[in-house]
Amino acid sequence: MRGMIVAAQPEAAEVGAEILRRGGNAVDAAIACAFSQGVVDPQMCGIGGFGAMQICLPRRGVHTVLEFLARAPLAATADMWADRFVGQTRDGFVFLMSDHANELGHLAAGTPGNVAGYSEALARFGTMELKDVMAPAIAQARGGFMVRPYVHYYWAIDQRATGQINTQDKLRLSETGRAIYFHPDGRLKQPGDIVANPDLARTLERIAAAGPDIFYTGEIAQEIAADMAAQGGLLTLDDLAAYKVREKAPIWGDYRGFRIAGNPPAAGGASLIELLQILEVFDLSALPHNGAEHIRILAEAMKWMTIDKDAHMGDPDFIDVPLDMLLSPAYATERAARIRAGEKASVPRSELAKDPPDTTVCCVMDEEGNAVTITHTLGQPSGAITPGLGFMYNGTMSGFDPRPGRAASIAPGKARGSAMAPTIVFKNDEPVIAIGAPGGTFIVPAIAQALSNVIDFKMSMAEAVAAPRIVCLSDTIDVSNRVQRGVTDELQAMGYTVARSYQSFAFGAPHGVRVEAEGWTGGADPQRDGMAIGV
């Protein structure tokens, strides 16, 4: 076998698999897949979005993190929306404002990073030309993709109870959105319908021919800046020209003899390592999987992780993130002792229903021992599309706290703290698992449970990512509909508030590839319609 790729969209996974068949390495396959994902799942990610990736190429001595998160416009100020703050979603993902300016339209957008991130990863660590890995995405944009169940679910879900704008309203915001996502009579396209985007195809062709500079300093940058100015957005040519990918060293933790390599702040690797190291103190394998005591431990560990995330996590260029403390096994042991003693941590939130966060992932391992995992997103789709360009801008500003003086507060050029946690797991200094998940604040709990399922409960990767999950990011334990009711009765008898999701596959959507004796195995969470392909 040449390798294995797993992605949340079958069309994009197939693109990456074909790159592996043609002799490309894991980076080539991941970047081809990433460009395709922006076409076939355009509210999950795209060239108007941002992301982070982890790359390990053992034969080249490379192990690095590329961070290409969106950044607040240079014209942004800490207090510009302070008088409009009205609350926060229960999962902590979105800050709510009275006029929705941070969610809808051009003001919601931060400086996009995906074009820079994809291009740098390919140029430095891939083996193929940009035009070659972009060709499948260009063809998909021109020919169209078929609306899949999860795509339509996200478009059609009613988010008004959360205080947010519905995705369907964002799709209607622009002339381009109305033309490509709706039928001529105004009906939203349904599963099985085709969405073609010729404007996006032309934009991708321009980038493939000229390289990323056209997006950040050239003709496309000028078109973006002119539209932003005309529509009252804050992004300018200076924002685009100043954008740089951050390269960082991975951060490390341990879990039962495995080494966990995560993305440092502003991404979510530290939160994942903290959560796993708290769980390591407990003999989870001795407990019934998803029994009451197992879920109690998971929930309390997630609450402590969330308390620390809210207090400390953000862009380290702007705030002091106490990594030594958060990654310390001694600190995890202290947190675990409070859980063992029966203490209930408290994470107060406004009791609003959860939103369905929009993000997607791709993980690849190949015959050279390379491992790549990328998580990318729009943060929230803003609805804004510049005429003629075809792509939707990110809505990253909804993730900044409009209240000054906090870890997540707005600052010019700042990246919002992100739960993205593309992760590589090592055994005896060799990468053995590449894993990631979409799902906003659900990402870290989802990956932690998937890894524990593999390591503690000896599940296959496919079983591990599909097993019922829980999240506890507030004083409520949210459970998948496949968690047994007798278990939730026990939790309620312990004094916990429990909310049952109507979804069988809820709370993030982990996807992973694992090294086995004779190659690789992979798993795609069934929530997102994706697949693993071995080549």
pLDDT in tens, 313-336: 888 999 899 999 999 999 999 999
- In this prediction, residue 352 carries a pLDDT of 42
Please count the structural domains in the chain: 1
Is 338 domain-assigned? yes
Is 276 domain-assigned? yes
Is 493 domain-assigned? yes
Q: Let me know if 359 is a catalytic residue.
A: yes
Tens of pLDDT, residues 144-174: 999 999 999 999 998 887 778 999 999 999 9
Task: Band the pLDDT of 456: cuts 50, 70, 90.
Answer: very high
Tens of pLDDT, residues 141-152: 999 999 999 999
Q: Which of 111, 176, 359, 373 is catalytic?
A: 359
Average pLDDT, integer, range 25-52: 98
Contact 91, 79 (CB under 8 A): no
Is 448 domain-assigned? yes
Say what percent of the chain tops pLDDT 90: 90
Task: Band the pLDDT of 351: cuts 50, 70, 90.
Answer: very low
- Measure the CA–CA gap between 310 and 265, rounded to whole angstroms: 13
475-498 as b/e, with b when 16 or more CB fall inside 10 Å?
bbbbbbebbeeebbebbeeeebeb
- In this prediction, residue 310 carries a pLDDT of 86
Task: Band the pLDDT of 304: cuts 50, 70, 90.
Answer: very high
Sequential DSSP letters for 70-136: -B--TT--TTTTGGGEEEE-TTS--EEETT-TTTSSGGGPPBP-HHHHHHHHHHHH-SS-HHHHHHH
Is 373 domain-assigned? no
Contact 504, 482 (CB under 8 A): yes
Is 218 domain-assigned? no
Average pLDDT, integer, range 402-422: 92
Tens of pLDDT, residues 96-137: 999 999 999 999 999 999 999 999 999 999 999 999 999 999
Name the residue among 276, 259, 268 with its Cα closest to residue 443: 268
Task: Band the pLDDT of 93: cuts 50, 70, 90.
Answer: confident
Mean pLDDT of the chain: 95
343-355 as b/e, with b when 16 or more CB fall inside 10 Å?
eebebebeebebb
Residue 478: strand pairing partners: 471, 499
Is 368 domain-assigned? no
Alpha helices in 103-257 (DSSP H): 114-125, 130-143, 149-156, 167-171, 175-181, 198-210, 213-216, 219-230, 237-242
Q: What domain range is 282 assigned to?
A: 249-354+420-518
152-177 as b/e, with b when 16 or more CB fall inside 10 Å?
bbbbeeebeebbbbebbbbbbbbebb
Say what percent of the chain tops pLDDT 70: 98
- We report the CATH number of the domain holding residue 294 as 1.10.246.130
Which range has the worst mean pLDDT, 84-98, 236-250, 252-266, 454-468? 84-98
Is 71 domain-assigned? no
* Residue 257: CB atoms within 10 Å: 9
Whether residue 358 is predicted with pLDDT greater than 80 in this model: the reply is no
Name the residue among 399, 532, 412 with its Cα closest to residue 33: 532
